[in-house]
Amino acid sequence: MKKQITVGIIGCGYWGPLLVRNFKGLADCQLKAVCDVNTERLKHIRTLYPDVEGIAQTQQLLNGANVDAVVIATPVKHHYSLAKASLLAGKHTFIEKPMASSSAECEELIEIAHRNGLVLMIDHTFLYSSPVQKIAQIVQAGDLGEIRYINCRRLNLGLFQKDINVAWDLAPHDISIILHILDELPTTINCQGNAHITPGVEDVTNMSLSFSRKRFATIQSSWLEPRKIREMTIVGTRRMIVYDDLRTREKIRIYDARVERPPHYDTFAEFQYSYHYGDSYIPYLHQEEPLKLACQHFVDCIKTNSQPLTDGRRGLEMVRILEAASTSVKMNGAPVTLSHSSSAAPVFAPVKVEEMLQVEAFAG
């Protein structure tokens, strides 16, 4: 494998320029071209990065730009067709979340990548962030005890999408974190929502994921809130964590708080809940841009022929949950059982997360 991985990016809208900046800053990567149908966007990117070629046609990028890898940052409805074309052209492929519009599309992309020996990675950015890595370490060490529930709020005013609802737009961030922390897929999904602005496109949703051992997670997503909120609470039997991603510093606070009921009692007078209020503390976090780490991880996986942390299978799991949520919305919030069966083959043998992300850099 050549020393530098050559990359082309399709889509220069909201997220595309952030990917351009991060891939451009990687030492072992050469960003050769960007592609967008909007010539004004291309002109702006080329003003910032004159050495990057601007291309208006996707096929020209796939067939004529001589790139090793393609990054797709377009509306979700185009993910499948562009990723399929990229993989069939022999390009390692990085797709923004969610992976595609259906689980069937995801399974086909996984199969094509496997058949051609290509890296397929989904940008579940938060799994590369130091707060989430620190939370995962704390949970896996057993410091919280048994997880009881997780509550998430991801709210803001806009940005309104036309091809997906707010659950498909915002909830993937929280779902990816929840699955990573619990290391388990949910058994059932409930979701309710309403479309207030665009008919048929829910702009407010409440989702609940049920797991084994009576654990569950709730996710509130909205494009109709006056304040921007990015908050997650993880409640364990011993301690609790509040994760506020909007804080510049001190994003995680751990509370030594819990409630216990007496194991035995004979009369109502003897029944007393035991409330424990201990100290709270803020763990040290080594701050580094998660998207930069995700981009570097993609390049590293190409160079080492390794399976990404957020591979196609994780993308497929996410889309299955979103599909179940959409079905539940149509059924007024009725529970939908999640199917975990899949014929999709993994791309490569998995590599340890610690090796891929160098988690020790996040340790405090």
Measured CA to CA in angstroms, residue 9 lies from 108, 116, 194, 347 at distances of 22, 21, 34, 22
User: Which architecture characterizes domain 5-126+290-310 according to CATH?
Assistant: 3-Layer(aba) Sandwich (3.40)
Measured CA to CA in angstroms, residue 38 lies from 57, 179, 272 at distances of 10, 36, 66
Q: Looking at residue 339, what is its pLDDT? A: 75
Cross-strand partners of 205: 193, 221
- Could you read off the pLDDT tens digit of each residue along the chain, which spans 364 residues? 457 999 999 999 989 999 999 999 999 999 999 999 999 999 999 999 999 999 999 999 999 889 999 999 999 999 999 999 999 999 999 999 999 999 999 999 999 999 999 999 999 999 999 999 999 999 999 999 999 999 999 999 989 998 899 999 999 999 999 999 999 999 999 999 999 999 999 999 999 999 999 999 999 999 999 999 999 999 999 999 999 999 988 999 999 977 767 666 655 555 567 777 777 889 999 989 999 999 999 999 999 999 999 999 999 999 999 999 999 999 999 999 997 654 444 333 333 334 443 333 323 3
Q: Looking at residue 359, what is its pLDDT? A: 33
Q: Looking at residue 352, what is its pLDDT? A: 38
Question: Is 316 exposed, middle or buried (CB count within 10 Å of its CB: 0-12, 13-18, 19+)?
Answer: buried
Q: Looking at residue 267, what is its pLDDT? A: 56
User: Which architecture characterizes domain 128-281 according to CATH?
Assistant: 2-Layer Sandwich (3.30)
In the chain, CATH 3.30.360.10 sits at 128-281
d(CA 271, CA 304): 60
Q: Looking at residue 287, what is its pLDDT? A: 86
Name the pTM for this structure. Answer: 0.89
Q: Residues in the chain, how many?
A: 364
Q: Looking at residue 272, what is its pLDDT? A: 63
Q: Looking at residue 269, what is its pLDDT? A: 53
Measured CA to CA in angstroms, residue 92 lies from 9, 117, 184, 308, 360 at distances of 12, 9, 28, 12, 28
